Amino acid sequence: MIEPARPIAHFLAFTAMLRGAGFAVAPEQTIAWLAAIELLGPAEVNDVRRAARATLAPPPERFAEFDALFDAHFLGALHPAETAQPSDEAPLQAAEEGAGGLEPIFGEETRESGARATPAERLSARHFEAESEDLTLRRFARALPARVPRRRGYRWRPSRGGPTADARRMFRDAMRNAGEFVKLRRRRRRLRQRRIIVFVDISGSMKERTQSHLAFAHALTRAAATVEVFTIGTRLTRITRTLRRRNRAQALATASLLVADWDGGTRIGDALNAFLAVPRFSALARGAALVVLSDGLERGDPAAMGEAVARFSRIAWRTVWLTPLAGDPGFAPRTAGLSAARPFLDELGDGGSLAGICSHVLNLAKVRAV
């Protein structure tokens, strides 16, 4: 193996450090950065910094963190231990929290809030007493395929009533008919289903509803083509694959084995951030309809929750939050977490009853995000 020359090694160590802190740095970016340093001359440290910002492209909201790491690496060489440590530690801690693995929290407040939600529950229970949960879900599954949110695809398909003429096909036809146009052909864009991503809050405060929410998620997974389901509590768990099973009881039973943090505390912000931190998950959210079934009672940092929802709103097509607390007519998002998230939500709706949730999801396609 070829040892990199010493000065280069110092730069390479910085990109390694960035990766350690959760920045995505591709090899080609490193190469571009080194080429840039060569161009500008490494004499001026601010040139190196500007070149780093331009080529390694940290996201704007992490500029401060990026600069801190840069300072620690290139300027703090005299006191590496003092400067590097705090900035190094912060992201690590966050990752640990995001990954879960923390003790479930059974706090008094959690129970209290569960009790507070009870009147709403009784109220909404009366709404659908007439028909069983099962019937609601079956009706939902039948109605869904026609009403899933769709987006225009990139490709065209022949269509009789399409909006534009299909010149290419008409031209081909004309070739066969000695240059005569016989028929007007039309085409339209193919429609594709938008992915629906459901986050089910399974914390203690949502205990009474978890079962029916999962039943809903199962019905949704079965009825629509592209759906992803995650549970959030103290950790994030993907249960999409188990929910694909046909038999609901079996699917839910398998899912319950998969999830380790039933009825625990709530770290919605951390769980959502954990979702965003995994590239293959966050890619799922691109252009998708996001549905969060949660009361928004956050035990973690409410600012983290607001930030996560803000990021989702930039990636996803629509972000909808359905909380059982909204069944109460006098409801306003008073919890710190939900009010931090509120400005970034497309809709904050009533998730008090299964029928309510179903109708929200069926109407996703109706209201267009601006």
Partner 1 sequence: MAVRRTIVGISSPRELEEALRAAYYLADEGLSTAAYLALALGKPLLLEGAPGVGKTEAAKAIAGVLGRTLLRLQCYEGIDAAAALYEWNFPRQMLALRQQGDGADHVDIYRDEFLIERPMLACLRRPEDTVLLIDEIDRSDHEFEAFLLEFLSDFQISIPERGAIRAHERPVVILTSNRTRELHEALRRRCVYHWIEYPAPEREMRIIMMRASGVAERAARAVVAAVGRLRREPLAKHPGISEAVEWAQAATLLNQQGARWPDAFRRSLGVVLKDEDDLVHIAPRIDAILQEAQV
Residues in contact with partner 1 by CB under 8 A are 24, 26, 28-29, 31-32, 35-36, 38-40, 46-47, 50-51, 53-55, 57, 59-60, 63, 151-154, 156, 167-168, 170-171, 174, 179, 189, 279, 286-287, 311, 314-315
Judged by beta carbon, residue 279 or residue 329, the one nearer partner 1 is 279
- Shortest distance in whole angstroms from residue 151 CB to partner 1: 7
Judged by beta carbon, residue 57 or residue 365, the one nearer partner 1 is 57
CA distances from residue 203 to 65, 133, 235, 297, 327 in whole angstroms, order as listed: 32, 22, 10, 9, 19
- Shortest distance in whole angstroms from residue 89 CB to partner 1: 25
- Shortest distance in whole angstroms from residue 281 CB to partner 1: 13
Residue that the structure tokens 């490709």 belong to? 155
Could you give the strand order of the β-sheet that contains 227-232, starting from the edge strand earlier in sequence?
236-238, 227-232, 196-201, 289-293, 318-323, 347-350
- Shortest distance in whole angstroms from residue 67 CB to partner 1: 12
- Shortest distance in whole angstroms from residue 41 CB to partner 1: 9
Q: Do the beta carbons of residue 356 and residue 350 sit within 8 Å?
A: yes
Judged by beta carbon, residue 140 or residue 317, the one nearer partner 1 is 317
- Whether the CA torsion 334, 335, 339, 344 is positive or negative: it is negative
Judged by beta carbon, residue 37 or residue 214, the one nearer partner 1 is 37
Judged by beta carbon, residue 274 or residue 326, the one nearer partner 1 is 274
- Shortest distance in whole angstroms from residue 220 CB to partner 1: 23
- Nearest-angstrom CA–CA distance, 8 and 248: 58
Judged by beta carbon, residue 285 or residue 322, the one nearer partner 1 is 285
Widest pairwise Cα distance in the chain: 83
- Shortest distance in whole angstroms from residue 95 CB to partner 1: 18
CA distances from residue 243 to 9, 28, 253, 303, 348 in whole angstroms, order as listed: 48, 40, 10, 32, 26
Residues in the chain: 370
- Whether the CA torsion 114, 331, 293, 253 is positive or negative: it is positive
Residues 6+ apart with CB under 8 A from 190: 152, 153, 155, 156, 157
Judged by beta carbon, residue 128 or residue 156, the one nearer partner 1 is 156
Q: What's the DSSP call for residue 42? A: T
